[in-house]
Amino acid sequence: MVEELAQAVGSEDMETGGEIARTIKSICSSIGAHVAALAAAELEIACHEQGNAGSALANLKNEIRQLLKIMDERRSKAQNA
């Protein structure tokens, strides 16, 4: 989904980018990943306002990387317990 988002933003398809960002925002919110959800919301706004979507995308990717790292660490701890 992030790759599709990056392709949409890269090709300046801001309508699709905004839709994917909104979906990611909803997913992040539903699992309590509020910082990532906020980053997705910022990207959604940037897409709709034709703003700096590239910067917002980079921020969202960073937040998702951090989230996945935390999830991997917690999974490893649970497996080793």
Residue range 68-79, pLDDT digits in tens = 999 999 999 999
User: Is 0.95 surpassed by the pTM of this model?
Assistant: no
Domain chopping of the chain, boundaries: 2-80
| Residues in CB range of 59: below 8 A, 6 or more apart | 39, 42, 43
Would you tell me how many other CB atoms lie within 10 Å of the CB of residue 28? 22
- Virtual torsion, Cα 57, 63, 69, 71, nearest 10 deg: -110
Residue range 11-63, pLDDT digits in tens = 999 999 999 999 999 999 999 999 999 999 999 999 999 889 999 999 999 99
Structure tokens, 28: 């992040």
